[in-house]
Amino acid sequence: MGRLDNKTAVITGATSGIGEAVAKMFAAEGAKIIVTGRNEDKGNALVREITEGGGEAAFIACDLRKKDSIAALKDFAYAQYDKIDILFNNAGVLVHKPFLEQNDEDFDLIMETNYRAYVWTMQAFLPEMLKNESGNIINTASISSIWPESGATFYGAMKAAVTNISRNIAKEHVRDGIRVNCICPGPIMTNMTPAGFDEEKAAEAGLLAMGHIGKPDDIAYAAVYLASDETAFMTGQNIIVDGGVCVSN
């Protein structure tokens, strides 16, 4: 028996990194999943891998910076399943450079992908969840939401906005069968990890409290926990999974 048996889930940013790990773990725990990202080859390969392993998955390409693309994701999801139990908002991008070098284009990219897309996706799925009096929204924020990091100014601000709006929506719908929680990952090895990243140097600089970087599965375990009924009494919270970075600085 899986911890997510009979649940349906939509996972954004599933074509690599954390989202891909979450998709595989959700499917392994029995969830029927819909995965998105812009990269069709990677999305289709992920679906093949999951279905060949006995799971149930479907992919739709989606650019979350476009509202009509999110509407298409919602239509696709509800064409597959009458009810979506879990919305895992996870897609994101990082621009890492000094504040004064960050321009309007950087701001738009970060704000539209890391914040506005989360708002639009929640606004797309929440009405159906409310009709069903049941919905579980999990948003990927970051330790950057709470822990200042030079070079991640716009990124950190938008991640903080994600944790803030999540708590507000959790409060607004606390009596409606809706839960909204965030995961705040620390450094995890993915395509987002800056090119030339040196684990030893990062550890020496105090950026990796445990001395090593995290794996996407470290976040997927927390995602399964939040997606499961084990957290039925939990809403408006942030789970920090950062290898001890926040407590060591």
Helix (H) or strand (E) holding 182: strand 178-185
Q: Which amino acid is at 158?
A: M
Q: Give the one residue of 8, 15, 136, 238 binding ligand NAP; rule: CB under 6 A.
A: 15
Smaller CB distance to ligand NAP: residue 229 or 248? 248
225 is catalytic: no
DSSP code of residue 178: E
Q: Return the number of other C-beta atoms located less than 10 Å from residue 245's C-beta.
A: 20
C-alpha distance from residue 85 to each of 126, 136, 155, 225 (Å): 10, 6, 28, 14
Exactly one of 7, 32, 65, 74 binds ligand NAP (CB under 6 A); that residue is: 65
Per CB under 6 A, 191 contacts ligand NAP: yes
7: nearest Cα among 123, 62, 61, 87: 87
Stretch that binds ligand NAP, among 15-23, 71-79, 127-135, 171-179 (CB under 6 A): 15-23
Residue 178 or 208: which CB sits closer to ligand NAP?
A: 208
Distance CA 27, CA 21 (A): 10
- DSSP letter (8 states) at residue 24: H
x/- letters, 116..145, toward ligand NAP (CB under 6 A): ------------------------x-x---
Select which of 78, 81, 155, 221 is catalytic. 155
Residues found near ligand NAP in the complex (CB under 6 A):
13-19, 37-39, 42, 62-65, 90-93, 113, 140, 142, 185, 187-188, 190-193
